[in-house]
Amino acid sequence: MIKRAVIPTAGRGTRFMPATKAIPKAMIPIVDRPTVQYVVDEALESGIEEILIIISPNGEPVKHHFDDKPNIKFVVQTEARGLGAAIGLARDFCAGESFAVLLGDDVVYNAGRTALGQLIDAHEKFGGSIIGVQTVPREKVSSYGIAEGAQVEPRLIEVSRMVEKPNPDSVNSRLGILGRYVLNYGIFDAIDKTQPGKGGEIQLTDALEILSKSEKIYAYDFEGRRYDAGNKLGFLEAAVEYALRREDLGERFENYLRGLIKFK
């Protein structure tokens, strides 16, 4: 049973300047809920009982937002040293057990089982660490961690190699790691051994590559509409599509959009 989730939100938010000068990226709302709340809700819906949110030194608003939720704890990442370093701060919180990671910029919509829930199901069946992937277009390969491996059953790949933001010519896969993970506790020792990689940062993908030398890692091609809310276009797509799904404003918003397009 996976009971704990870690949600890193301490990125610099440079792609959202100047909005992120005073407000953490995680607090920018999609319709009327901060981005991080969609991610927290997905974790809770997947059966997670305790959450650790990694915040940056200006992350106080994230804390205030959840101050009525006793199952959410916070830790401050004082230096932006990379995603691997951020996850490394969760060692005590995870208390020797496997845990989930949901990246604060990756929002996934599912009418059925959540993306994380699908990974948890795969972990219960196969053990090992599970990374959530989807096929990305070739021009996006250099924006993500990429997993190579062999298909073992529908949607499940046994991973042989992972590379952070590779040149598309240097890998034989387009399976992008899209912000959902179930990790075995061994990842913490792997993080400790990880040298700075892409951008001079400690990369979680590099730590997973180290972990894969001693235990199995699977990639799960999860179902769901995933938004990269960390980039401007992805964020706008999320805002429009979540608004269209809302019972209280979907219809009116759709009429507005139709009128706007006709007018153009």
**Closer to ligand G1P at the Cβ: 85 or 243?**
85
Q: Could you tell me if residue 224 is left (phi over 0), alpha (psi between -120 and 50 degrees) or otherwise beta?
A: left
The residue type at 222: F
Q: How far is the CB of 256 from ligand G1P (least distance, A)?
A: 30
**Closer to ligand G1P at the Cβ: 184 or 206?**
206
Q: How far is the CB of 164 from ligand G1P (least distance, A)?
A: 5
Q: How far is the CB of 58 from ligand G1P (least distance, A)?
A: 18
Residue nearest to ligand G1P (CB): 145
Q: Kindly report the CA angle at 133 between 128 and 135, in degrees rounded to 5?
A: 145
User: Around 252, how many Cα atoms within 13 Å sit in the side-chain half-sphere?
Assistant: 4
| CA nearest neighbour of 177 among 119, 93, 125 | 119
Q: How far is the CB of 157 from ligand G1P (least distance, A)?
A: 15
**Closer to ligand G1P at the Cβ: 14 or 70?**
14
Please report, as ranges, the residues that interact with ligand G1P according to CB under 6 A.
Answer: 11, 83, 103, 105-106, 144-145, 164, 176-179, 203-205, 230
**Closer to ligand G1P at the Cβ: 3 or 165?**
165
Q: How far apart are CA 60 and CA 111, in angstroms?
A: 32
Count other C-beta atoms under 10 Å from residue 62's C-beta.
28
Q: How far is the CB of 67 from ligand G1P (least distance, A)?
A: 26
